Amino acid sequence: MPDGSKTDRPRTRIQQRNRDLIAEAALEVFSTHGFRGATLDNIASEAGLSKPNLLYYFPSKEAIHTQLLSTLMDTWLDPLRALDAQGDPITELLAYVERKLEISRLYPRESRLFANEIVQGAPRMLTSLEGELKDLVDEKVAIIRDWADQGKIAKVHPYHLIFSIWSLTQHYADFDVQVRAVLGGEEPFDEAPAYLREVFLKLLTP
């Protein structure tokens, strides 16, 4: 049995491949059915493996889910990490919006995985939210507050500014079905970038 601890790399190519297959399948299934709605049989067949074989690589359903979440948390925070205190304030913030929207477009399943978890009260993620996430946000909020104090951007509530960026960008991934149902045939991501740019440009211009 392979060592299940997260720290050590898989030793063989087969392990690497199958762990990747499982992660990919689990992302697909968890993101469309939620934790409770996903079954090991679903994930197994999506991955092209048998159920006992899944459990050869991961000790439990919960473990697969947990690994997915913690892997993705980093990816999720990257765009915000890139917000640079040295850059031009408005350019930096608009670039953040753009990066975040692009990620929603490219990785909607990851977005929905988080959405599922958070909407249901984040039972398996609360410590992450209160830890890494809050720390990073606090740090960037300080930068935004400085910019506002120096008159480089409009005086907006920095926490709510960040919430609104998350909200507006992730909406296109998380509520994709609704957006498409309302738009009919039109492709949401054609217009979204320009629209969001306009929103935040108007909001932030002093």
Partner DNA sequence: CCAGTATTTGACCAGTCGGTCAAAGGAAGG
Partner DNA sequence: CCTTCCTTTGACCGACTGGTCAAATACTGG
Binding residues for DNA, per CB under 7 A? 1-2, 12-15, 18, 38-41, 49-53, 55-56, 59-62
Give the residue ranges of DSSP H helices in the chain. 13-37, 40-47, 51-57, 61-81, 89-106, 108-119, 126-128, 134-149, 158-174, 176-183, 188-204
Smallest distance from the beta carbon of 121 to DNA, in angstroms?
Answer: 17
Residues in 125-154 at the binding interface with its own copies, rule: CB under 8 A: 126, 129-130, 133-134, 137, 154
Dihedral of CA atoms 90, 135, 138, 202 in degrees, nearest 10, equals 30
Q: Using the 8-state DSSP alphabet, how is residue 156 labeled?
A: -
Q: Rank residues 18 and 158 by Cβ distance to its own copies and give the closer one.
A: 158
The answer to the question of residue 102 lying near its own copies (CB under 8 A) is no
Which amino acid would we find at residue 192?
A
Q: Which residues bind its own copies (CB under 8 A)?
A: 32-37, 112, 115-116, 118-122, 126, 129-130, 133-134, 137, 154, 156-157, 159-160, 162-164, 166-168, 171-172, 174-175, 177-179, 181-184, 186, 191-192, 194-195, 198-199, 202-203
